[in-house]
Structures are given as structure tokens and as C-alpha cells.
Amino acid sequence: MSEKSIVYWASPWELMAFPNSAKNIITNNLVKTKFLLDKILDGFINTGDKVGVKVHVGERYNTRYLRHDYVREVVDAIKAKDGIPTLIETQNLGMDIQHINLSENYSINIMRRKTAAEHEKTAQLHGYSESIVGAPIKFIDGDKGLDGKIIEIDGIHLKEVSVGIGLYEFDKIVAISHFKGHQAAGFGGAMKQLGIGFLSKTGKYRSHFNSDMSINKKRCNISKCSQECIEACPVNAIKIESESAVIDPSICVCCTACLEKCPVKKAINRDFNMDFKNFIERVCDNCAAVINSYGPEKFRYINFAFDVVAQCDCVATPSMPIIPDLGIFGSSDPVAIDKACIDAETNAPGLPIMDQNGQWKEPTPIGIEKFNAINKMVDCSWVFDAAVKNRLGNLDYELIKI
Ligand code: SF4
Ligand code: SF4
């Protein structure tokens, strides 16, 4: 692609609240969101279009996820154009809530985005409910995250990807992302939203792990369990043969529920992909599956670069913000919008961060890419290299300030 893609940008700068100042009103971030939506939704929505608004509602105890007020602006803008908005999401891997005892008298439950029942409660807790943002939420991979459509691709690593089947019920998609760092992907923006956020559990598993789920026959011991794995499996892929569990790989959908329930350590194998460059390339393969099977012209992207922390919203313990707020970005090109955000964070001053001993660390200077400076295991340039190989969009962009 040779022509530059357009990226609209609303700066985060707020004027002081002068009484009766119209200028103050128009610099409010929610109002800026509306102005940005006017640009990117212009001519995009037809009357009666079913519009999926892809969100990430944030993990329990995470306090840096994108606040629902911005989502409400997106929903209202779609309604103003006579579209019919629905928030869409997919389930996390596994099926179980994780219980953590923090002290004798205090415990918390986390990992509550794995089934529709728990995910919806987390969404409501974070304000992502119809009564607050004005649109219902739908899980496009079904109640348990197992409902995928297999899309064949010619990716760098992957040849098929399981995409949440409910995606294809919508006429248009507005993908909202909270721009921030990510432990394995370098950063989270529009491409991470596409390449993981639209997948079924099977698709997510194939991105994060190198082999199918299998039983370690040396460790599996049916005298030490109640065969919880069989009970946990939602597709009856496990049976007992010769005193050991066996997983039928032709039935297994890689949900990891058996692993969560098995009480015997290391009785079930899974091979986590620690090669983060390879992981990022798989995420970009997934992006190609989502975009090309649905239609690139039917997507719009908004990245909110507020509360830019070092980790994904899927963690319960996000860091302090590592840079100041960068504002709101909008585009029809997922590569251009993510590149504009990375360029902006590179050119921003880092913020001082307190380490775990309570000592302040020197901020990362202007001109240094911050996520890589903090997380040496991942290089954000890998994302753009893989995006170009997968022809996901344009690295060259024109930034237009709203
Ligand atoms: S995999 Fe675990 S739960 Fe299943 S039979 Fe073996 S030891 Fe028991
Ligand atoms: S065998 Fe496969 S489908 Fe069944 S619970 Fe385990 S990972 Fe899920």
C-alpha cells in the first residue's frame, strides 16, 4: 500500500475550567470523542445497520481498563446515525473462577471473563451494561467461548483460525481499544483487539500454545482424583483407557477446562509459546483471518490512549501509567492507528514509576519506545513487521488533529 492512511487524533490536553467558557466545554474528552466519531463514522453506517462495538471490559480488580463513559459516546454516535449498536466480546481461556486467599480474613475471586455468566457480571461491574451505555452485550463466541467459524488463511504460521461466529451477524464493526502495553504482544491496540479479541477459545489457544492438549500418562493417576477432567470437558473429548485419561484431539476444542479441574500436578500437558515474536506473528495471522473473512471496509477503529499502563486489561494488577495520556485516535486502518499510537508514546516523556520496594525509577526519556524499555522480552516493531507481511494495513499515515 503506497498512499498514506488517515488517522484522526484528539489531543488529551484540557483547559482549566473557566466559568462560562464554551472553549472548556469543547475540550472535554467525551466531547472530543464525539467529534472524532463524526469523522470516522462519516458515511460508514446505513440506516438499520447492526453495528458490533468490540470492547474489552477489563478483568476484575483491574482499575485501568477503559471507562464506560467513552463507550457510551460510541453507542450514542451509532444510534444518531440510525444504526443498531451491540457491545461484542469473547471469552477468556478456561472456565473456572480463580480464588485467591490474600490473608486469613480476605480473599478475592479473579479470572471472571471465561463464561458468559461471569463475563456479563464483570461487564456490569465495570459499567458495560445496557442500562449504563445504552447497548446490550453479546458474546460472539457463545456462552462458553466455543462457537467459532474456521477461517482458512495463508499466514506466517497459521493456516486456519477459529473466529467467534457471531461476528458475521453484524453489518459493521467499531473496534474500541484501550491502548497500553502487553506482556507478550508488546502493546495492545487495534491489532491485538482483532487478533485475539475476536477469536473463540480454540483460536486463542492456538495463538498462545504450541501443541494440542494431551495427557501425561506418567502423571495421570485415577486413584488420586475423581476424574474431574471428564466432568469438566464441555465436548466429551476425554475418556479413560488402560487406567489413564486420554484426550481425543479430533474432538478437543482446547478450552483448557480439564487442566483447571485436574487435581494432579502436571497430569495434563500444554506447551506455552514463550517465543513472543512467534506469538505476535500468530496474532497478526489471526488479524488477517478476521479482517479478510469479514471485509476490511466494514471496520472502524478507535484507540483510547488514556491510563497507558505496561500490561493488558486482562490482568488484575496493572502498573501505574508509564506515560501521560496521549488522547484519542481513530482510523479505518488498524496498522496506521497502532503505528500512530506507538509513535506518540515513543515521542512522549515517560512518567516516573515506583518499583515494588517503593523506590521511584527514572522515567524513560522522550524518543525511546517505552513498552520495550520496560519489557525487554518483546519488541513492538515485531508487530508491524508481521502486519506488513500479512497485508493488514499501511504503516504510512497522515495524522489529522481534531
Ligand atoms: S487427567 Fe487428572 S483428573 Fe483426569 S484422570 Fe488424570 S489425574 Fe484424574
Ligand atoms: S479435553 Fe479439550 S475440550 Fe475437553 S476440557 Fe480439555 S481442553 Fe477442553
| CA 159–ligand 1 middle distance (angstroms) | 32
Note the pLDDT of residue 76.
98
36 and 183 in a single domain? The answer is yes
Confidence at residue 257, expressed as pLDDT on a 0 to 100 scale = 97
Say whether both 300 and 221 belong to one domain.
no
Q: Are residues 12 and 75 in the same domain?
A: yes
Site to substitute for ligand 2 among 246, 253, 271, most atoms within 8 A of C-beta: 253
pLDDT for position 319 = 87
Distance 388 CA to ligand 1 centre (A): 44
Contact 368, 374 (CB under 8 A): no
Nearest CA-CA partner of 60 in 98, 88, 27 = 98
Whether residues 201 and 280 share a domain: the answer is yes
Spatial contact of 326 and 357, defined as CB atoms under 8 Å apart: no
Cα–Cα separations (whole angstroms), residue 321 to 126, 185, 308, 326, 372: 19, 18, 5, 11, 15
Interacting residues of 124 by C-beta distance below 8 A, sequence separation 6+: none
Are the CB atoms for 119 and 91 separated by under 8 Å?
A: yes
Matching residue, cell 508488546: 186
For residues 166 and 86, membership in a common domain is answered with yes
C-alpha–C-alpha distance, residues 295 and 151, integer Å: 13
Burial of 23 per CB tally in 10 Å (0-12, 13-18, 19+):
exposed
For residues 161 and 199, membership in a common domain is answered with yes
Q: Please, what is the end-to-end C-alpha distance for the chain in angstroms?
A: 25
Last residue of a domain, one of 269, 288, 310: 269
Tell me, in angstroms, the distance from the centre of ligand 1 to residue 275's CA: 29
Which of 247, 269, 291 terminates a domain? The answer is: 269
Note whether 92 and 235 are same-domain residues.
Answer: no
| CA-closest residue to ligand 1 atom 6 | 220
C-alpha cell at 225: 482424583
Q: Is 68 helix (H, G, I), strand (E, B) or coil?
A: helix
Are 374 and 299 part of one and the same domain? yes
Task: Quote the crossing angle between the two packed helices 68-80 and 29-40, to the nearest 10°.
Answer: 40
Q: What is the CATH number of the domain that holds 255?
A: 3.30.70.20
Encode burial over 251-288: b for 16+ CB neighbours within 10 A, e otherwise: ebbbbbbbbbbbebeebbbeeebeebebbbbbbbbbbb
Torsion, CA 56, CA 126, CA 233, CA 252, rounded to 10: 0
Query: Does residue 164 contact residue 141 with C-beta atoms inside 8 Å?
Result: yes
Residue 276 Cα to ligand 1 midpoint, Å, equals 30
CATH number reported for the structural domain that contains residue 358 in this entry: 3.40.50.11440
The ligand 2 atom at the shortest distance from the C-alpha of residue 256 is 7
Boundary of a domain, candidates 230, 252, 269? 269
Are 350 and 295 within one domain?
yes
Instruction: Mark whether 323 and 258 lie in a shared domain.
Output: no
Q: Which residue's CA is minimally distant from atom 8 of ligand 1?
A: 227
Low pLDDT (below 70) residues in the chain:
1-2, 14-27
Q: How many domains does one find in the chain? A: 2
- Nearest by Cα to 285 from 215, 191, 201: 191
Provide the grid cell at 52: 458490533
- Taking only the tens place, the pLDDT of each residue in 68-114 is 999 999 999 999 999 999 999 999 999 999 899 989 899 999 888 99
Determine which residue's CA is closest to atom 2 belonging to ligand 1.
262
Gap between the Cα atoms of 351 and 311, Å rounded: 15
- Enclosing domain of residue 121: 5-208+274-401
Burial class for 372, CB neighbours closer than 10 Å (0-12, 13-18, 19+): buried
Q: Which of 208, 247, 261, 271 to mutate to test the pocket of ligand 2 (most atoms within 8 A of CB)?
A: 247
Q: Mark whether 256 and 334 lie in a shared domain.
A: no
Report CA(223)–ligand 2 centroid distance (Å).
Answer: 21
Ligand 2 binding pocket, CB closer than 6 Å? 213, 232-233, 235, 237-238, 247, 252-258
What cell numbers appear for 363 in the block? 522515567
Q: What pTM was computed for the model?
A: 0.94
**DSSP H or E stretch at residue 98:** strand 98-103
> Is the Cβ atom of 268 under 6 angstroms away from ligand 1?
yes
d(CA 43, CA 46): 8
Say if CB 361 and CB 342 are below 8 A apart.
no
State in Å: Cα 269 to ligand 1 middle: 11
Count Cβ atoms below 10 Å from residue 78 Cβ, excluding itself. 25
- Residue 228, SS3? helix
286 and 171 co-located in one domain = yes
> Which pLDDT belongs to residue 23?
56
